[in-house]
Amino acid sequence: MVHPELLAPAGDLEKLVTALDFGADAVYAGGELFGLRAHAGNLSLPQLEQARELTAKRGRKLYLTLNAHLRPAELDALAEYLERLRPLELDAYIVSDPGVLAMVRELDPERPLHLSTQANTTNPAAVRFWQQAGVQRVNLARELTLEEIRAVRQACGVELEVFIHGAMCVAWSGRCLLSAALTGRSANRGTCAHPCRWGYALVEQSRPGQYFPVEEDGRGTYIMNSRDLCLIDHLPALIGAGVHSLKIEGRMKSRYYVAAVTRVYRAALDRYLDDPEGFTLDPLWRHELDMVSHRPYDTGFLFGGDGAVVHPEDSTYRRSHDFVGVVLEAGQAGRFLVQGRNRFFPGETLELIGPQMRQAAFVAGELHSEAGDPLAAGQPNARILMALPQDARPGDLLRRDGKGRE
């Protein structure tokens, strides 16, 4: 049986550390150039060096996204960037452009290469083509069913990676021109404006300003708005199909999202690996995933279907809880130093969450500054001394029931 890695997003160094703390075997991050999340935190070369040290110290892996499609004038810059990256000895580069792949093979031939989902790999012949070109792992197109994934595994020896959680696109494996056409921001170059999430109505040419909703209830239509992927119930099937890496989408997501989602999939994966025959789903896992910001969940195309991923009602996110703080360190007299992320007040019921599904509800008591002055509320970015549950540890997060606030 394959023991798959759990691969989590690292939009910046904070999120990278959180992903490692909450159970990721590997993380993927973008650098300052040639990734497909230009508005994520992304990592400078010094930060990548620090990230490499952090992951190596813990025996984890770090993959760098270089999966943009380049223009002719950018090739020299890529060559220079690859030379600067080479001393970092990252575990793999994630690529999709054959030209980028060829340049890495020329300038850094020993560097492992992973193929992005942007390459739209849908069949064993394509996998073998990329393997012959030097790719060691292929992230399969999200349009494949479970049976098609199994068929690819049986026909090929290369490692396979699939997305198990996060945002999806209505475009084929994310290769979309809608954003570039409407806003000039190209999804294939990391600057997608997500116009597939916008509300649309019809306008007749001779009646400018008169909007005719496609739906009859006056909301307009969101016929291009995708649901979010959630495969927590189907990890055994994916492992049985021979998947090597289970990938969580979300380099643009919050630190809380990375922590909450990673720890759930870590718990599920560990339970299955410990006892495949006796594996059962814990209802808490799905409950926890419902607490983070998400669109309605779906299994995508894993079991077939055509268009089931579209959520036409609206494009809003759902979440039940707000992220309000990060535990920085243990203080004196049972108090901890917390960095605020959203406002909270003494007397409010909060919940502490940590790795390995540790969690505990408590009522916030008195709040003080580091200098000992009383605080009326915890504020974003403030450093706060407060009492926490006994088993609190640095890196744990605090959340509050948001009563459905968007």
Number of domains in the chain: 2
The residue-averaged pLDDT of 295-320 equals 79
Distances (CA, A) of 44 to 39, 81, 90, 103: 14, 11, 14, 21
Beta strand ranges found along 331-373 (DSSP E):
335-340, 349-354, 358-363, 367-369
Give the max Cα distance, the chain.
Answer: 73
> 256 and 145, same structural domain?
yes
Which of these, 91, 120, 116, lies nearest to 101 by C-alpha position? 116
The distance from CA 151 to its chain's CA centroid, rounded to whole angstroms, is 26
The answer to whether residue 406 sits within a structural domain is: no
The answer to whether residue 184 sits within a structural domain is: no
> 326 and 292, same structural domain?
no
The answer to whether residue 212 sits within a structural domain is: no
Beta strand ranges found along 129-173 (DSSP E):
137-139, 159-167
Q: Convert 110-124 to b/e letters by CB count within 10 Å (16 or more is b).
A: ebbbbbbbbbbbbbb
Please, are residues 254 and 279 in contact by the beta-carbon 8 Å criterion?
Answer: no
The residue-averaged pLDDT of 189-210 equals 78
CATH number of the domain bearing residue 136: 3.20.20.70
* Residue that terminates a domain, selected from 298, 331, 362: 298
Please, are residues 227 and 168 in contact by the beta-carbon 8 Å criterion?
Answer: yes
The answer to whether residue 392 sits within a structural domain is: yes
pLDDT per residue as tens digits for the range 44-86 = 999 999 999 999 999 999 999 999 999 999 999 999 999 999 9
The answer to whether residue 131 sits within a structural domain is: yes
The answer to whether residue 305 sits within a structural domain is: no
Cα distance between the two ends of the chain: 41
The answer to whether residue 289 sits within a structural domain is: yes
The answer to whether residue 213 sits within a structural domain is: no
* Residue that terminates a domain, selected from 267, 298, 329: 298
CATH number of the domain bearing residue 365: 2.40.30.10
> 169 and 264, same structural domain?
yes
* Residue that terminates a domain, selected from 298, 332, 355: 298
> 372 and 283, same structural domain?
no
Residue 221 in this model has a pLDDT that exceeds 80: no
The distance from CA 278 to its chain's CA centroid, rounded to whole angstroms, is 29
> 343 and 278, same structural domain?
no
pLDDT per residue as tens digits for the range 249-277 = 999 899 999 999 999 999 999 999 999 99
**Both structure tokens of 168:** 């999806």
> 288 and 335, same structural domain?
no
Phi, psi of 32 (to 5 degrees): -80, -10
pLDDT of residue 215: 61
Domain residues for 358? 321-401
Residue 374 in this model has a pLDDT that exceeds 70: yes
Task: Answer positive or negative: Cα dihedral of 299, 300, 306, 311.
Answer: positive
> 79 and 14, same structural domain?
yes
Residue 404 in this model has a pLDDT that exceeds 50: no
Confidence of residue 405 (pLDDT cuts 50, 70, 90): very low
> 27 and 120, same structural domain?
yes
Q: How far apart, in whole angstroms, are the C-alpha atoms of residue 86 and residue 83?
A: 5
Alpha carbon dihedral 236, 240, 243, 248, in 10-degree steps, equals: -10
Bridge-based pairing of strands 367-369 and 374-375 is antiparallel
- Residue by residue, DSSP assigns 209-236 as T-EE-SSTTSS-B-TTPBPEEE-GGGHH
Higher pLDDT, 403 or 304: 304
Which of 43-52, 147-156, 207-216, 321-330 is the least confident region?
Answer: 207-216
Beta strand ranges found along 13-56 (DSSP E):
26-30
pLDDT of residue 25: 98
> 386 and 262, same structural domain?
no
Percent pLDDT > 90 in the chain is: 73
Residue 219 in this model has a pLDDT that exceeds 60: no
> 163 and 37, same structural domain?
yes
Beta bridge partners of 7: 26, 247
> 35 and 146, same structural domain?
yes
> 145 and 76, same structural domain?
yes
C-beta atoms surrounding 206 within 10 Å: 6
Please, are residues 173 and 126 in contact by the beta-carbon 8 Å criterion?
Answer: no
